[in-house]
Homo-oligomer: A and B are copies of this chain.
Amino acid sequence: MVTSESRKKLATMRDVASVAGVSHQTVSRVINNSPNVKLKVREKVQAAIDELGYVPNVAARRMGGNRSYLILALNDRARTLDNWRVGRGNDWVDQMLFGGMMACEENGFRMIFELVNAENPAASKHLAGAIASLRPDGVILTPPHSENQDLADLLVANGTAFARIGSSGKEDGINIAMDDHAAAKAATDFLHDLGHRKIAFIAGSAEYLASTARLEGYRAGMAQADAPIAPHWEQPGDFTFESGAAAAARLFASEDRPSAIVASNDEMAFAVLHEAARHDIAVPKDLSVISFDDTPGVRFSVPPLTAIRQPISAMATRAAEELIKQQGILPAGSQIVLPFELTARGSTGPAPE
């Protein structure tokens, strides 16, 4: 006969109260750092808490008050699944997990991930369900959900604070992004400083605001360097390997071949390297390549990619912090810009003289 052992009963707030000889409400005040508690009492209560190893039950806190101590992070399921299937890992999820968790942990919050297919029209319903079920104190939207206004509208209507990551220019929520324009300009400047003047650009999907910002940044860099842009140097792309390869092929086939290429993400940059190898173009001797994202793979390519890193982790931390601490303090539509980072590796070098 197996005796189904029951769950161990843990100390409750009332237990602490009776040990400390105070009311349960006073214990609550100590837990929540309420200012109006005498030092003597606070110490007595704290001693009882330590003695019993008391930790407040988050479900009960949610029931009594109107906070859940939960932050919900919405990630794209399709993208994540896809990356995972290809065995490429998922930088976003990793870094979101980290950055978000750091901030949550420091404030007694938890982070819950929700993977929602962005292409699914029922995404709103999915989010609504998660909110009703968990009642999170804040929601973090990651690309491409950040661009989905339906979700934002739902959150506004529902009265749930939210932050968008990797998106800017929106008029509701808190928006955290890096300066894509400045980053693309920095990439261009970097190449220019190496002596390059014939610099091409492979763009990302137009649905992402970041894509156009990067294109503009590239143009600004070229303008400042007083370097004219040949028409075919601005190649379209959609963040996929294939589109990068096609763009590279077009650039290599052209008359006025660039000596450097700025790719809007790592994957397209990998494609450029691949295509360059096929055309016997040596990197970085004959061609420099620089890209956006700085995903884990960049250090394994041949040569390793010089890349600009989006501060995903820092953005997640900031998002969580804002949602936790500053609720209602930052006005809706606030824009927060975090710095990017350019890491030079083997794929860039001086311009062929």
Contacts and interface: CB of A to CB of B under 8 A. Distances in A.
A170 B328 CA distance: 50
Interface string A1-36: 010111110100000000000000000000000000
A80 interface: yes
B98 A97 contact: no
Interface string A280-293: 00000000000000
Contacts of A300: 297, 300-301
Interface string A294-305: 111111111000
Interface in A84-129: 84, 87-91, 93-95, 97-98, 101, 105, 110-113, 115, 128-129
A60 interface: yes
Given A98-B80, A132-B10, A296-B89, A59 B63 contact: yes
A308 B159 CA distance: 48
A159 B8 contact: yes
Most B-side CB within 10 Å, residue of A56, A112, A132, A159: A132
Given A8-B157, A91-B89, A129 B55 contact: yes
B101 A113 contact: yes
Nearest to A301: B300
Contacts of A213: none
B90 A89 contact: yes
A135 interface: yes
A53 interface: yes
Given A80-B98, A81-B98, A300-B297, A58 B134 contact: yes
A299 B241 CA distance: 15
A62 interface: yes
A313 interface: yes
Given A59-B63, A60-B63, A113 B115 contact: no
Interface in A120-151: 128-129, 132-135
Contacts of A93: 93-94, 97
A300 B295 CA distance: 12
Contacts of A132: 10, 53-55, 57
Given A93-B94, A98-B115, A105-B115, 15 more contacts: A7-B135, A7-B159, A8-B158, A57-B133, A57-B135, A59-B134, A81-B98, A87-B298, A88-B296, A89-B296, A90-B94, A93-B93, A113-B113, A297-B297, A300-B300
Interface of A: 2, 4-8, 10, 53-60, 62-63, 66, 68, 80-81, 84, 87-91, 93-95, 97-98, 101, 105, 110-113, 115, 128-129, 132-135, 157-160, 294-302, 313, 328
7 contacts: A8-B157, A8-B158, A54-B132, A113-B113, A296-B296, A297-B300, A300-B300
